[in-house]
Amino acid sequence: MQIRKDLLSDIQGIIAQSRDRAIRSVDTERVLMYWHIGKVIFEEEQQGEDRAAYGAFLIQSLAQQLQPQFGSGFSKRHLYWYVQFYRIFPNVNALRTQFSWTHYRTLIRLENADKREFYVAEAAKNNWSARQLERQVNSQLFERLLLSNDVEAVLKVAREEKPPIEAKEIIKDPMVLEFLGLKREAAYYEKDLENALITHLYDFMLELGNGFSFVARQKRVHIEGDDFFVDLVFYNRLLQCFVIIEIKTDKLTHQDIGQLQMYVNYYDRFEKQEFENPTIGILLCADKNDAVVKISLPENNRTIIASKYQLYLPTEQQLIEEVKKEIQRLDEQ
């Protein structure tokens, strides 16, 4: 006699799901434990006349007693994190149950309250893993979105208080593609970069942002006997439009903009449904002259975006320089 194959599969699924729930339950309890420890220490700190000095003494003394008994998770550094955890998230009922302690450890390191609120909202909405959250923080996602938006607009979109209505509200410039593992000093053909993006499609869609779904690569466009091939085609359900991406591994030219504009026009006239919004085109390029981009496009352009890509995580100073350039560009308009 033999048992049904799907019976074994069903039981294996039950075991896997139960283990996952058990792990999540343990992680939730650990988060709550750290929060309550932070609360108790914080409230005790307030009893001292010199709170800063008493707080430092208190954490040091507790660590000396707790670490030998319960391990490295109760060192002086960890106890300090637990106090910060309570200070930053004082309402236990507002804690996100899907966040692990690793999520919260990343969040409490963010000093800017607006930035922290943005990452809390985005991580919860998109169900980011702890690794994905850390990657988005390290890639300066918040700062990159601020290059073309104000803080309140970015937060409203993150909190889903308003849907994005313009491409600039979710498209970043620059885009960070460090996950491709390509050397930034090396030269690449456009096909190489496209292949790498397809291989790492999940990570690329995480970098693109909310609402993207993959449609096609090297999409054939036939126009009066001539064939053209669009590098990548996506659809964004939030913007309700097609998003076409053309890859350029050198400096952007006005000819590149003209080619992308042709693809956008084609999709608007032959692919877009009446209920959908105009197609968006993104030129993903190694370098660009913003003045050339501006003069090559209509003054009321909202559908063509030139975005630089970089193969490494940006530093905060690099983002500051980008912000300065953007401010100068707006002043010149």
Q: List, as one string, the DSSP characters of 28-82.
A: HHHHHHHHHHHHHHHHHHTTSSSHHHHHHHHHHHHHHHHHHHH-GGGSHHHHHHH
In a domain, 59, yes or no: yes
For the segment 150-170, the average pLDDT, to the nearest whole number, is 89
Sequence-ordered list of residues with C-beta below 8 angstroms from that of 100, at least 6 positions apart, any chain: 27, 31, 130
Of residues 18 and 66, the one with the higher pLDDT is 66
Residue 8, pLDDT score: 72
Give the β-pairing of 175-176 and 304-310: parallel
Same structural domain, 195 and 305 = yes
Residue 110, pLDDT score: 96
Q: In the predicted model, is pLDDT for residue 1 greater than 70?
A: no
Q: In the predicted model, is pLDDT for residue 3 greater than 70?
A: no
CA distance 140 to 115: 10
Of the listed ranges 218-227, 238-247, 308-317, 321-330, the one predicted with least confidence: 321-330
Residues 232-268: tens digit of each pLDDT: 999 999 999 999 999 999 999 999 999 999 999 999 9
Same structural domain, 83 and 176 = no
Number of domain units in the chain: 2
Q: Within 10 Å of residue 229's Cβ, how many Cβ atoms?
A: 10
Residue 163, pLDDT score: 86
CA distance 268 to 62: 66
In a domain, 248, yes or no: yes
Same structural domain, 64 and 198 = no
List, in sequence order, every residue forming a beta bridge with 281; answer none if it has no partner.
Answer: 244, 304
Q: In the predicted model, is pLDDT for residue 317 greater than 80?
A: no
Can you give the residue range of the structural domain that contains 80?
5-95
In a domain, 84, yes or no: yes
In a domain, 242, yes or no: yes
Same structural domain, 192 and 286 = yes
Token digits of residue 268: 């608007």
Residues 133-144: tens digit of each pLDDT: 999 999 999 989
DSSP string, 133-178: HHHHHHTTHHHHHHTSS-HHHHHHHHTTSS---SGGGT--SSEE-G
CB 285 within 8 A of CB 308: yes
Residue whose structure tokens are 């938006």: 149
Kindly state the percentage of the chain with pLDDT values over 90.
64
Q: Answer with the one of 95, 122, 151 that is the final residue of a domain.
A: 95
Residues 197-235: tens digit of each pLDDT: 999 999 999 999 989 999 999 999 998 889 999 999 999
Of residues 55 and 320, the one with the higher pLDDT is 55
Same structural domain, 185 and 305 = yes
In a domain, 121, yes or no: no
Of residues 149 and 213, the one with the higher pLDDT is 213
Q: In the predicted model, is pLDDT for residue 49 greater than 90?
A: no
Confidence of residue 323 (pLDDT cuts 50, 70, 90): low
Same structural domain, 57 and 175 = no
Residue 308's CATH number: 3.40.1350.10
Answer positive or negative: Cα dihedral of 284, 198, 132, 120.
Answer: positive
Answer positive or negative: Cα dihedral of 256, 214, 16, 106.
Answer: positive
Same structural domain, 203 and 291 = yes
Residue 120, pLDDT score: 97
In a domain, 146, yes or no: no
Question: Can you give 124-142 as a three-state secondary structure string?
Answer: HHHCCCHHHHHHHHHCCHH
Closest Cα to residue 211, out of 165, 173, 271? 165
Q: Answer with the one of 28, 63, 95 that is the final residue of a domain.
A: 95
Q: Answer with the one of 95, 127, 150 that is the final residue of a domain.
A: 95
Same structural domain, 84 and 199 = no
Closest Cα to residue 218, out of 208, 201, 233, 238? 233
Q: In the predicted model, is pLDDT for residue 19 greater than 90?
A: no
Same structural domain, 181 and 86 = no
In a domain, 47, yes or no: yes
In a domain, 18, yes or no: yes
On average, the pLDDT of the chain sits at: 89
Same structural domain, 192 and 303 = yes
- Which of 46-60, 261-275, 293-307 reaches the highest mean pLDDT? 261-275
Residue 324, pLDDT score: 64
